[in-house]
Structure 1
Amino acid sequence: MTNLNPHPAFTLKSKHHIEALDITVLLCEHTATGATHYHLACDNDENALMIGFATQPMTSRGEAHILEHVVLCGSQKYPVRDPFFSMIKRSLQTFMNAMTASDWTVYPFASQNKNDYFNLLSVYLDAVFFPNIHELDFAQEGIRLELDKQGRPEYHGIVFNEMKGAMSGEIDQLYYALAPHLYPTTTYHYNSGGDPKEIVKLTHADLVNFHKTHYHPSNAIIMSFGDIDVADIQARLHDDALVRFDDAEKPSRGKQFVSMTETRLNEPVQVYDTYTADVSGEKMTHNVLAWLLPSITDPKQRLALRLMEGVLIEHAGSPLRAYLDSSPLGTSASPLLGLDDSHYEMAFYAGVRGSERELADDVENGILELLRSVAENPIDNETIQTILHQIELDQRHIGGDSMPYGLTLMLEGFGTALHGGNPVDMWEIDEHLSWLSEQVKEPNWVQNLIKTHLIDNPHRVRLTLSPDKDKAQRLIDDEKASLDKLNTTLSDEDKALIRQKSAELATRQAMIDDVDILPKVGLDDIPKAIKFAHANKQPITIGQDERTLYEYHAGTNGLYYYQVVLDLNDNLGILNNPLLPLYLELLSELGTDRYDARTFQAVQASVSSGVTARISQRTDRHDKEAMTSYLVVATRALARKPEAVELVSDVLNNTIFTETDRMSELLQQKQASWQSRLSASGHSYAIQTASRSMSKLSSLEYRYSGLPALSALKSFLKQSETDQAVWQTLSVRLAQIHEQVQNLPKDVILVCESDKADELKAVIKDVLNTPHKPVKSSVVVHDTLLAFDELSNSDDNKDIAWLIATNVYHNATAYPATTSGHEDTPALTVLAPFLRNGYLHSAIREKGGAYGGGASFDANSASFRFYSYRDPHCVATFLHFEKSIDWLLDNDHDADKLEEAILGIIGGMDKPASPAGEAVKACFSELHGRTKEMQEAIRAKLLAVTIDDLKRVAHTYLKDKPHVKASLAPLEKESQMAELGFDCHKIG
């Protein structure tokens, strides 16, 4: 363990060791300024730090969000235009970001290199406490006026365009239609990210003032995690920032914002609103109830409400979830469902999507009646114990596969700390869990929670949100009318000033910064070897087959991770089946020969995290028309519950596909959820569309898991409303896939702590060799499911535009390239960040106003792709993709820029996962033929790439070479996209 003595400038307020996590939490206060510092000391070399502030905007002009962008555009010590993006290129960071929530803003980073960690800390400290907040950076990142070729004003700005994209998402519109009524007087009433209609009212002076009042050390909470001594971290905090708060301009003490308590409603309210949609069709309305609950600062009450939530909606068999999923008043439960503890005062949501406006009363009455029924009847102890089990399972699971583990912990505790609670209560809940276990023994204790916080709680809002196919165009027209009105008030002098500011911004964007004033690491700091978890491979007999058990020992905090891996490699009958993705979606959600679907979900929840099914695929290293494929059925469980192993076998051996009502519910949910995420993931779908024909795997993924599959699912569900026979056909065809899957060869992955391995292996061997009667389909059908079977028709290489309800573009261009084993792959891999860093970021984001843009090489699709995200432009962006190639070929380039590109690639490769995640990642790398030695050889080749290599592969694969374009574009732009040569498609 590291030295736990704080720096002299800090006062130690408390120290607490969390046994289960082996972390010691220090709470310190900077004596002079009152800045709060939580340090989570542990033996983890992925050190992380987060600087956070209470930010409480009382408008929807986006000041907190835009400030988050602008403070990272240069500071007193580092006066370069974009130190944040520059440090991404000059660092081995495993995470760098900035995030704005409703009532806080945080600046997190992580690195495994200690020099790099302190470099990042220096840049972040100067950025948040001493930013330049230049007026032109506000214009670039936030909002500005420019004049078009005819001299008419237009709005531009990165956050402005980002929020246009965000607010075209169905779920965002649902939440922000509800929040102002649930929180009528506090900061949560407003959109902290910014409403585009309101962002245009924000001024530079507003931003400067918001920083002055909110970004003071007295209002800061700093959290750190890892094996660096706390005193070393605090020395940097003090010397680089906090000690400088000592005069009239920067006083040692500033305002500390306190949590806002909402004025409570005396009676429920009803609200009607609309959202942008492709069509104003039937069964597209959301009817949702929301209740305001107590604050998050009481850990016992928070845990009690988590239990209440679990009793109602933990799994498909829970009463409220079952009611909402199966209700004829909607197609599925609302995406706003359950306990929301992200604000000072929590909320609970329940409702349906796919409903009708005139059914609002029925939905409300049905939910309240269901709640009364639960509250008036006994709740069996098994249900309570299942929820307590799930809470413990969540607590013990060590994350870190998508975000560094330390940052995950810090974000879990930050809200509690912000609002005056003790974040240790979020990291160590054993004592509170014991209290909860005693409380539930009291008669009607859980029922009384439901009565108090839901049934008898008058602070309830009912929102009816209906589709409006004309709303997107109306928003465009409203913005145009606003600009037309503004145009009538602009004098020649006003327009001259706008042109002058535009010219100044263009000059600033074209400046070559002296980035050498920023700290950096170099190629010498890159470890030559990679970390790679090695399995203890053991033979295991499964039936008549001799297969392999891959055993990994890791610090899993009392959990084990169990996966059955089925080899699909030679079974094209399964891989080419357009219903395979639906099969995977439904596999663990349906019933078995012993349990119906809802009961089986309860059984899964009682002993595990649930069972999941997925497919793992990689393109062959040398042949783009070949691939390795594995079907994976997995679970996670407490080591004291080995019966979870049997669940996986139940799913594989005993699933039945006859519960068509449940299948309908699940597919309705999938379609609605999929469609609502299009705007948020638009660039991914554009990339997938553009590269769809460049490898066997990319073709399969596009047709069966891309937008054609969504369109087919939507068509199938529409057809099923009038032709119930299609469910019988689907049922039998899924059962036929299942019969094929049962006969696939199986291997096993087990990740656990070493002292649990032998017991678990004995259970695994016993379960896998227990005879079972294969579930066979008694019916053979040859009927087609036209919507899905037509997916097998191959697409040509047309440029495609998918038209969706959005007001920004997501663009992509793909060029055929190489597989992972080709000699040009390392150069193509480095070329992508080189083009992004040197040209695309500036052209598409800074100057073009898109939220993001770049390039990537993907060996699975054997393609090199350009993309943009939440982009106000279409034609100009596609031109920039091509211009970036000319920029590379027509200019000389510094070796430093090449080094930056390589650093970024290696940093991404070296990002650690959780202990279990590292083991599973290593196992699948080997299964797909990517050994440790092979990966280290690729690493060496990446480090050897030259500028000449980049130019050579650009000539070979990109310059004047065939390519495919794709765009997710606004519905209203169909004629324009067609004129540009795109084949226009709509969903369903």
Structure 2
Amino acid sequence: VALLDQLEVQQREVSGDGYPCGLQLKLSCLATAMHRGEPAAMLDIDPVLAQLREAITEPDFTRSLVKRLLLDNSHRVTITLTPDPELNQKMIEQEAAKLAAIKASLSAQDQQTVIKTSAALQQRQASEDDPGVLPKVGLDDVPAMAAPPSLEQSDVNAQPVAFYPQGTNGLSYQQVICALPELQQDQLPLLSLHNRLLTEVGIGQHDYLQTQSWQTRVCGGINAYSSMRGKLDDEQSISGYFTLSAKGLAARADAIDELMASTLQQPRFDEQQRIAELIARYTARTEQSVTGSGHGLAMSAACQGMSPIAHYSHSNGGLLGIQRLKALNKSLSNADAQAQLSEQLQALHQALCANPRQFLAVGEAGQQSAITAALQQHWPTSTNGDNSALKLAGIRQTARELWVCNSQVNFCAKAYPTVPAGHADAAPLTVLAGLMRNGFLHTAVREQGGAYGGGASQDSMNAAFRFYSYRDPRLCGTLDDFDQSIAWVLETRHEWRAIEEAILGVVSSLDKPSSPAGTAKQHYHDNLFGRTPQQQQRFRQAVLDVQAGDLLRVADTYLRDREASIGIVTHSGEAAQYTELCERENIRIHTL
């Protein structure tokens, strides 16, 4: 029954926060269509679920499936893969040998052909395409900002509740939120770890296995996270919130609230062996993710001195955080260390739950009374804590670091201090990033430099302007391209068409559609941090009003002749190149 509920949640959920819901539905049907099945049947599984709910009443249903599909249908393929620590070097040598063989086989005429073809390619890359061959969308075509979702506010047991009536297709989404309290210095590094562990350990008298079964029975997912942001006009002044979030069938609203309340009130951080195993798993998974998210890690390293949140992100979720997680994992081979961590996590959890609670619920309009009744039953008036607020030490300084990791490629980043979201220059800086990406960086870093990707962005939360490259074969050349892009902006006459494209790109990202539930949750959390619809409308209009002179002014003010912070993720094979670079640019070398 629980598994069928999970299937129903997956079928009913209206997604679209990552990419359009319609595209997701098409992709979900693709495999069926490729095998000449009926794609529509993949979208409407209600009849199948009804049949399965009836079939599982037969005692031998599952047993017969296992026997027919697994035990009596044995197929086995065994593949043994042995890691080769010298694989990268061997591939480089093989490529060099292959190129040398090709070069040796070329006649003089062949060599001239290669030279001419290369020159023609460079000329083609440097040429400008005729934009007139494509349909044009202009600023006049930009619609008005979408209205915010409707919201109904109330109180349950003297605790505020925000309910958003949205088209959720029979699902309900619930969150309990507490403002992050003032934490001790030794508690901050454990915050993200606590959030990951909270829904993975046992509850009360239930161990983690029993708790997982409980979660599967009543909901389609439960997780905890923390969010932090700076003020609109001051990136050094921050606030944060802890959130426990769950979703499931509307009929399970009461059971979901019971699970959430128990999760917050009785977590089993005394399951020391379970916690040690999870941390070992997190460590391995995080190390493996470096190559896929190296550009984000490089930007985090470059921006670590820009704001308290940037410093926290690098120290806990960035490269320094990965290094600390590895050290913690290694220390947990000691039983005393496991016991100490268990006590620290429990103390941190008590601190997080001390502040007053507030609730967010998203569901169909007719679900409000059932959700309110569930909240009334399972969430008594919260005890009055000290109402303390999270504090992080201010920071605004340059950072230059290079991290040597288990990677076959490079990720480069530069960052310059700029302004927070509430400043008048935030809008032109955001547009400037798009102009530089479209007009210079894509060609220089990707097409000519060979990186998989590259660009620039204005990070208003941390008041920083960032350059980055993704899966990059170069180091020094890419950093030089970042500098040359600044000179290009200041010394080139930019057509209004290019500026308009950059403006439209920003507006497109601001207006990106989301799922009904995602829209409601985003609206609620934006308001927690002072990002009201009125503020967002002002920023959107400021983007639409950007002129060429604004771009030149902010580039000259914040980027010309300014000292940049640098973050690089690379590998030991680049030692000959990065050693000289680090000495010249005063970059500190770290090993992950």
Is the shorter-chain TM-score for this pair beyond 0.5, marking a shared fold?
yes
Q: 1:662 to 1:883 in 2, by over 3 A?
A: same
1:396 aligns with 2:8: no
CA offset digits 1:253-289 (Å, max 9, x no partner): xxxxxxxxxxxxxxxxxxxxxxxxxxxxxxxxxxxxx
Deviation at 1:958, TM superposition (A): 0.6
Match of 1:872 in 2: 473
Deviation at 1:624, TM superposition (A): 1.6
* Aligned match for 2:547, one of 927, 946, 956: 946
Checking the alignment, whether the CA contact within 8 Å between 1:693 and 1:797 is kept in structure 2 is yes
* Aligned match for 2:293, one of 676, 681, 686: 681
1:662 aligns with 2:274: yes
**Greater strand content:** 1
Q: Aligned AA for 1:422? A: E
2-structure distance, mates of 1:453, 1:465? 28
1:473 aligns with 2:78: no
Q: 1:892 to 1:629 in 2, by over 3 A?
A: same
CA offset digits 1:284-314 (Å, max 9, x no partner): xxxxxxxxxxxxxxxxxxxxxxxxxxxxxxx
Match of 2:338 in 1: 727
Checking the alignment, whether the CA contact within 8 Å between 2:306 and 2:397 is kept in structure 1 is no
Q: 1:479 to 1:448 in 2, by over 3 A?
A: farther
1-structure distance, mates of 2:371, 2:29? 34
1:460 aligns with 2:71: no
Match of 1:909 in 2: 510
Deviation at 1:487, TM superposition (A): 2.6
Q: 1:929 to 1:770 in 2, by over 3 A?
A: closer
Match of 1:567 in 2: 179
Checking the alignment, whether the CA contact within 8 Å between 1:566 and 1:632 is kept in structure 2 is yes
Checking the alignment, whether the CA contact within 8 Å between 1:574 and 1:740 is kept in structure 2 is no
Checking the alignment, whether the CA contact within 8 Å between 1:974 and 1:984 is kept in structure 2 is no
TM-score, normalising length: structure 2: 0.94
Secondary structure of the structure 1 residue equivalent to 2:446:
helix
1:601 aligns with 2:241: no
Deviation at 1:798, TM superposition (A): 4.1
Deviation at 1:627, TM superposition (A): 1.4
Checking the alignment, whether the CA contact within 8 Å between 1:617 and 1:628 is kept in structure 2 is yes
Deviation at 1:817, TM superposition (A): 0.9
CA offset digits 1:63-102 (Å, max 9, x no partner): xxxxxxxxxxxxxxxxxxxxxxxxxxxxxxxxxxxxxxxx
1:695 aligns with 2:307: yes
1:484 aligns with 2:100: yes
Secondary structure of the structure 1 residue equivalent to 2:78:
strand
2-structure distance, mates of 1:430, 1:897? 49
Match of 1:849 in 2: 450
Match of 2:256 in 1: 644
* Aligned match for 1:978, one of 575, 579, 586: 579
Checking the alignment, whether the CA contact within 8 Å between 1:619 and 1:859 is kept in structure 2 is no
CA offset digits 1:568-617 (Å, max 9, x no partner): 1x524389611111101101111121211110111011010132001122
1:498 aligns with 2:107: no
- Worse-superposed segment, 817-826 or 619-628: 619-628
Q: 1:664 to 1:451 in 2, by over 3 A?
A: farther
Match of 2:239 in 1: 628
Checking the alignment, whether the CA contact within 8 Å between 2:165 and 2:364 is kept in structure 1 is yes
2-structure distance, mates of 1:828, 1:904? 13
Q: Aligned AA for 2:222? A: V
Checking the alignment, whether the CA contact within 8 Å between 1:535 and 1:923 is kept in structure 2 is no
In structure 2, runs of 5+ residues without a counterpart are 386-392
Secondary structure of the structure 2 residue equivalent to 1:462:
coil
Deviation at 1:822, TM superposition (A): 1.0
* Aligned match for 2:198, one of 587, 596, 600: 587
Match of 1:714 in 2: 326
Aligned pairs for 1:306-317 within 5 A = none
Deviation at 1:877, TM superposition (A): 1.0
Q: 1:422 to 1:855 in 2, by over 3 A?
A: same
Aligned pairs for 1:302-451 within 5 A = 385-451=1-67
Deviation at 1:842, TM superposition (A): 1.3
Deviation at 1:689, TM superposition (A): 0.9
2-structure distance, mates of 1:452, 1:795? 65
Secondary structure of the structure 2 residue equivalent to 1:617:
strand
Q: 1:547 to 1:974 in 2, by over 3 A?
A: farther
2-structure distance, mates of 1:472, 1:984? 21
Checking the alignment, whether the CA contact within 8 Å between 1:530 and 1:936 is kept in structure 2 is no
* Aligned match for 1:817, one of 418, 428, 443: 418
Q: Aligned AA for 1:582? A: L
Q: Aligned AA for 2:452? A: Y
Deviation at 1:951, TM superposition (A): 0.8
Q: 1:716 to 1:488 in 2, by over 3 A?
A: same
Checking the alignment, whether the CA contact within 8 Å between 2:428 and 2:550 is kept in structure 1 is yes
Deviation at 1:670, TM superposition (A): 1.2
* Aligned match for 1:956, one of 557, 566, 570: 557
How many residues end up aligned between the 2 structures?
579
Checking the alignment, whether the CA contact within 8 Å between 1:895 and 1:947 is kept in structure 2 is yes
CA offset digits 1:744-784 (Å, max 9, x no partner): 12110011111110121011022111799x9xxxxxxxxxx
Match of 2:148 in 1: 532
Secondary structure of the structure 1 residue equivalent to 2:378:
helix
Deviation at 1:796, TM superposition (A): 7.3
Q: Aligned AA for 1:667? A: I
Aligned pairs for 1:172-321 within 5 A = none
2-structure distance, mates of 1:750, 1:917? 12
Q: Aligned AA for 1:947? A: A
Deviation at 1:517, TM superposition (A): 1.4
1:837 aligns with 2:442: no
Match of 1:555 in 2: 167
Q: 1:738 to 1:457 in 2, by over 3 A?
A: same
What percentage of residue pairs aligned between the two structures are identical?
A: 36
2-structure distance, mates of 1:887, 1:820? 25
Checking the alignment, whether the CA contact within 8 Å between 2:303 and 2:415 is kept in structure 1 is yes
1-structure distance, mates of 2:58, 2:377? 40
Secondary structure of the structure 2 residue equivalent to 1:468:
coil
Match of 2:230 in 1: 619
Checking the alignment, whether the CA contact within 8 Å between 2:303 and 2:399 is kept in structure 1 is no
Secondary structure of the structure 1 residue equivalent to 2:252:
coil
Secondary structure of the structure 2 residue equivalent to 1:897:
helix
Secondary structure of the structure 2 residue equivalent to 1:460:
coil
Secondary structure of the structure 2 residue equivalent to 1:573:
coil
Match of 1:762 in 2: 373
Deviation at 1:471, TM superposition (A): 1.6
Checking the alignment, whether the CA contact within 8 Å between 2:294 and 2:470 is kept in structure 1 is yes
Deviation at 1:518, TM superposition (A): 0.3
In structure 1, runs of 5+ residues without a counterpart are 1-384, 775-791
Secondary structure of the structure 1 residue equivalent to 2:129:
coil
1-structure distance, mates of 2:321, 2:9? 34
1-structure distance, mates of 2:106, 2:356? 73
1:827 aligns with 2:428: yes
1:752 aligns with 2:357: no
Secondary structure of the structure 2 residue equivalent to 1:630:
strand
Q: Aligned AA for 1:945? A: V
1:888 aligns with 2:489: yes
Checking the alignment, whether the CA contact within 8 Å between 1:535 and 1:552 is kept in structure 2 is yes
1-structure distance, mates of 2:374, 2:421? 39
Match of 1:929 in 2: 530
Deviation at 1:407, TM superposition (A): 0.8
TM-score, normalising length: structure 1: 0.57
Q: 1:664 to 1:457 in 2, by over 3 A?
A: farther
2-structure distance, mates of 1:409, 1:797? 46
RMSD between superposed Cα atoms in Å: 2.1
Q: Aligned AA for 1:645? A: D
Deviation at 1:672, TM superposition (A): 1.6
2-structure distance, mates of 1:962, 1:514? 37
Deviation at 1:805, TM superposition (A): 2.6
1:523 aligns with 2:134: no
